[in-house]
A and B are shown apart, each in its own frame.
Chain A
Amino acid sequence: MNITLRHVSKRYPNGYLALDNVNFELTAGEFAFLTGHSGAGKSTLLKLIAGIEFANQGQIRVGNYDVTTLKSRHIPFLRRQIGIILQTPNLLMDRPVFDNIALPMVIANASYREIQSRVRAMLAKVDLQHKEKCYPYELSTGEQQRVSIARAIINKPSLLLADEPTGNLDPKLAAEMMHLFQQFNDLGMSILIASHDLALINQCHHRILTLTQGTVCTDG
């Protein structure tokens, strides 16, 4: 799924201008990093694309959806095509790992057998085979992060938005996750990852968008 942002500005209700006239395009199947100093507006940008926050100005197109004018009853259907990994892993604390990862498939009305085989496969990919029955509070932060990665990609969305997905992982695991994202990208998934782990970003040789004070200033 491609993303197009034109003259997008976001001012938070408290008056703070988090994004100021942002323009860029991500073509379908592209893999790009979004970087910038803390507070530059990376998370804000991802939230605007997913329809979690709304722009005050400009236009955001995601696939066939115009997010800026999207009616709230259509938002669920946009979200189903986007895998979202938020900066803070937001898992259901009263459900085991298996249920957390299965949730998008449950929402998409998949059969239990389908769910079971896909969840098991995902667990292997994020190296959590033996934690299926654990509750999130029994996991390390890095493990929780991997659960939220598995949850984001289990439904093979056409776009993945990830906010610091490797923030709490050691370099080896971080590289493994990047490799996992790469595999999905090879299958055609568009990917936009916000990160300030420059070492990791430079390993990957992908397009890099840099946000400075709410505007995209370098691209490439």
Chain B
Amino acid sequence: MHRWLTWQVQAALNSLGKLIRSPFVTLMTCSVIGVALALPALFFVALQHADVIHDPLQQSVQLTLYLKKNTTDVAAMSLAHEIEKRTDVKTVQPISPTAGYKELQQQMGLDDATTKLLGNPLPWAIIVTPAANYQNPAELNQLSQSLKQFQSVDSIQLDRIWAEQMATLIRLAHRITEALSVLLAAAVLLIINNSIRSATEHHQEEIKLIQLIGGTPGFIRRPFLYTGIIYGVAGAVIAWLLVTLFVFVLQEPIQHLASLYDSDFHLHGMNMSQFLILLLVSSGLGFLGSFLAVARKLSG
């Protein structure tokens, strides 16, 4: 066992030594692998942020009911009460034309003189927040339809729509990222497979000789497997560096943008477990790629 381990370590060091002896080619190969891995990694990191941004939006799904212009205060308030009793509604917030007007005034910085001149054009409004388990698109639609039945309701605005579109986009982005990951993983596998295959071509004489004096396929495979794994590990590290660099460069502008929206949004790079997954996948691809390359050589 001790001896076996010693040889494993020696084979690994040998492979590393060979790679270091041709630094340019090695660096090129590792960089290509790194870039191929960095792309899906970046997408994953970005999407994780999209989920964070998106989450609070889902909480604030609201319907705004605009009542007909001639609705009296009493009618409006009783309608609000009636809606509040529904099981699919969590809260209602009636807003009188005066209250709405005040808010508008503040927001737009209009003075009293102008407003007196124009008169108050706003109708009664009721902001309805649906109950927590009535927030999916289908039930929201149903709620909206049934609220429309009320005589005094003029129109309903669904704040959900753009959030819904956002969610769809993010789902799509997730799909694309997954597809991209599979494609680029296949690319990494091919790159490593190809490098190792040309390495086996290079060491053809050596392989033949080792076979001649009784080397098992496992013995022949070992240094190539280590080379493949080293490629994978180096590629993962390069990918991590690229993602980190990317986050570092974008950190400031994004934070600036977030501050404009009064948000303390932070850009995060890869965390430890994500990096470990990347490392595992990448070295696994290295192992597989080289195993297949040597298997082809040994059977041929």
Segment from A11-19, A37-45, A74-82, A199-207 that makes contact with B:
A74-82
B3→A103 contact, CB < 8 A: no
A92→B211 contact, CB < 8 A: no
Q: Chain B nearest CB: distance from A107 CB in Å?
A: 5
B205→A80 contact, CB < 8 A: no
Query: How far does the alpha carbon of A209 sit from the alpha carbon of B217 in the complex, in Å?
Result: 35
Give the residue among B215, B217, B219 with the most A Cβ atoms within 10 A: B215
Please, how many residues of chain A have a CB less than 8 angstroms from a CB on the other chain? 21
CB of B253 within 8 Å of the partner chain: no
Query: How far does the alpha carbon of A108 sit from the alpha carbon of B215 in the complex, in Å?
Result: 8
Q: A109-B7, A111-B3 are in contact. Are A90 and B209 (CB under 8 A)?
A: yes
A107→B210 contact, CB < 8 A: yes
How many residue pairs, one in A and one in B, have C-beta atoms under 8 Å apart?
46
CB of A121 within 8 Å of the partner chain: no
Query: How far does the alpha carbon of A158 sit from the alpha carbon of B136 in the complex, in Å?
Result: 80
Please, how many residues of chain B have a CB less than 8 angstroms from a CB on the other chain? 17
B215→A84 contact, CB < 8 A: no
List residues of chain B with CB within 8 A of the CB of A107.
210, 213-216, 219
Query: How far does the alpha carbon of A29 sit from the alpha carbon of B170 in the complex, in Å?
Result: 78
A 92-130 binary contact with B (CB < 8 Å = 1; else 0): 110000000001100111010000000000000000000
A109→B214 contact, CB < 8 A: no
List residues of chain B with CB within 8 A of the CB of A86.
212
Query: How far does the alpha carbon of A107 sit from the alpha carbon of B212 in the complex, in Å?
Result: 11
List residues of chain A with CB within 8 A of the CB of B4.
109
Q: Chain A nearest CB: distance from B300 CB in Å?
A: 13
CB of B159 within 8 Å of the partner chain: no
List residues of chain A with CB within 8 A of the CB of B6.
111
Q: Chain A nearest CB: distance from B11 CB in Å?
A: 10
Within 8 A of A (CB), among B188-241: 205-206, 208-217, 219
Query: How far does the alpha carbon of A200 sit from the alpha carbon of B216 in the complex, in Å?
Result: 37
Query: How far does the alpha carbon of A93 sit from the alpha carbon of B210 in the complex, in Å?
Result: 14
CB of A151 within 8 Å of the partner chain: yes
Within 8 A of A (CB), among B234-281: none
List residues of chain B with CB within 8 A of the CB of A134.
none
A104→B213 contact, CB < 8 A: yes
The 3 closest A-B pairs by CB, nearest first: A79-B214, A80-B214, A76-B214
